[in-house]
Structure 1
Amino acid sequence: MLRRILLAACLAIPALSFASAEHPEEGTDYTVLKTPVQTQNPKKIEVISFFAYTCPHCYTYEKTLEPWAEKLPEDVEFVRVPVAWSDKYFQYSKAYYALEALNKLHPYHETLFEAVIKQRKDFPTIESIADFLATQGLDRDDFMKAANSFSTKMKNDRAFKTWQAYNIDGTPANAVNGKYVTAPHMVGTREGAIQVMEFLIDKERKAKK
């Protein structure tokens, strides 16, 4: 989903590496937060992916981001944070954390993404998501129990506070170690955004030393 930001038209074409991604500039390719956000694990460099299941650019970006995230070194912790701009979309973030609690993000995270973006399915309630995922082989009762759990509520509340603390106003977007925000629309390409994250991760790694 887009909020106030319109993504650059180049996101609709194959990603290219722009010069700015190779030599990132503060204020253009990334921003520095005036007030750093506390990370979940201070011992590691935290990378956050802010996304929404209703965002077609997030779905496309995931294809580039996921293979990169799977190969991150041990000192980097990758975290997804679902963004719900209003109560109308809150069921999607509940679904994400329910799948996480059940250790079923693979394959159902992608399954839900594809249903919303490619198949244009509408899920107005968490129950409707549960019904759909049940047709894909997921136990409906287990899913609903996880979705309505206190743990999921706490994670949902934390997700809301997190994207607000980072002042996220459009998806997809990324944050690095509580200090920096970057996004494909800032850099110009999906691959370029990953290059900027690598630059910021290295910057934080050097700072820790």
Structure 2
Amino acid sequence: MKTFLRIFTVVFFLAINQTGYANNVMYKDGYIQLPKHMREKVNLVANNVQYYFDFNCVYCRNLHPYMTTWGDTLPEYMSFTYQPIVINDPLYFMNAAAWKFVEASTIGEDKKYKYMDHIFTYLPRVTNEHQLARLIKESLNDVGLDIKDFASRYGQGEYDNYLNEQINTQKILNIEVTPSVVIGGEYLTHLGLSDGNPKDFITLLNAVTSYYIYQERENDDKSTTK
């Protein structure tokens, strides 16, 4: 898959070089270049792709099987992280904290994705904190994690700073649509920029990511030749 991405990048940018206005046509309203002052306010990392998703979002749920393997197509020097949306709601707090607990655990990636799939599948049936706590308990048990450990950490406020930081980052980046993706701390794209079409969003995500990779390589080449 990484070989395919490299080939795609080369072909894509050969086309851009042949038409001076192709970049504007391809990316018109397709991504947002984050201004410097915005990037400096939040902890954005170069060569990292942050995927902002909502367990309550039907589009995020439908894209989940694809996104579990999409990160594997990135070059080895790039990383991919899931960022759950957090709003001022007890259910969102608990759900995001539980994912943070799972993400930080030592279980395999396949089990982490299994946990996410379980939450995506059964969350629509949840209407209160008691039901969510039960769903999280069953989902953690299913992947071999201790609900008592999570409950203790959550009850002691271990995730409070994380949750507040998530809310603050989302506000600064103006993330109002899910899924949204921040690429390399430079570019933001989201489902709304593909007119709400998941298939077009994947195409857009691939193109913007390739654009970022190309720009980084161009900058590296310029630095090397100086």
> Same fold per TM (> 0.5)?
yes
Structure 2 residue 187 is matched with structure 1 residue 180: yes
Distance of aligned partners of 1:97 and 1:135 in 2 relative to their CA distance in 1, 3 Å threshold: closer
- Residue in 1 that maps onto 2:162: 155
Matching residue within 110, 114, 119 for 1:112: 119
Higher helix share: 2
Distance of aligned partners of 1:124 and 1:67 in 2 relative to their CA distance in 1, 3 Å threshold: same
Larger of the two Rg values belongs to structure: 2
Query: Is the CA contact (8 Å cut-off) linking 1:176 and 1:201 kept in structure 2?
Result: no
Mapped partners of 2:203, 2:145: distance in 1: 36
State the AA in 1 paired with 2:204.
A
Structure 2 residue 219 is matched with structure 1 residue 207: yes
Superposed, 1:105-144 pairs within 5 Å as 105-116=112-123, 120-122=124-126, 124-125=128-129, 127-133=133-139, 136=142, 138-144=145-151
Query: Is the CA contact (8 Å cut-off) linking 1:83 and 1:93 kept in structure 2?
Result: yes
Mapped partners of 1:61, 1:70: distance in 2: 15
State the AA in 1 paired with 2:137.
D
Aligned length: 185
Mapped partners of 2:217, 2:138: distance in 1: 43
Mapped partners of 1:37, 1:157: distance in 2: 18
Distance of aligned partners of 1:205 and 1:149 in 2 relative to their CA distance in 1, 3 Å threshold: farther
Distance of aligned partners of 1:193 and 1:123 in 2 relative to their CA distance in 1, 3 Å threshold: farther
State the AA in 1 paired with 2:216.
E
Superposed, 1:46-195 pairs within 5 Å as 46-88=48-90, 89-104=92-107, 105-116=112-123, 120-122=124-126, 124-125=128-129, 127-133=133-139, 136=142, 138-148=145-155, 151-187=158-194, 188=197, 189-195=200-206
TM-aligned CA deviation for residue 149 of structure 1: 5.5
User: Would you identify which runs of 4 or more consecutive aligned residues in structure 1 move more than 6 Å?
Assistant: none
Query: Is the CA contact (8 Å cut-off) linking 1:95 and 1:129 kept in structure 2?
Result: no
Distance of aligned partners of 1:139 and 1:169 in 2 relative to their CA distance in 1, 3 Å threshold: same
What percent of counterpart residues are identical?
A: 20
Distance of aligned partners of 1:146 and 1:73 in 2 relative to their CA distance in 1, 3 Å threshold: farther
Where does structure 2 lack aligned partners over 5 or more consecutive residues? 1-21, 222-226
TM-score normalised according to structure 1 size: 0.74
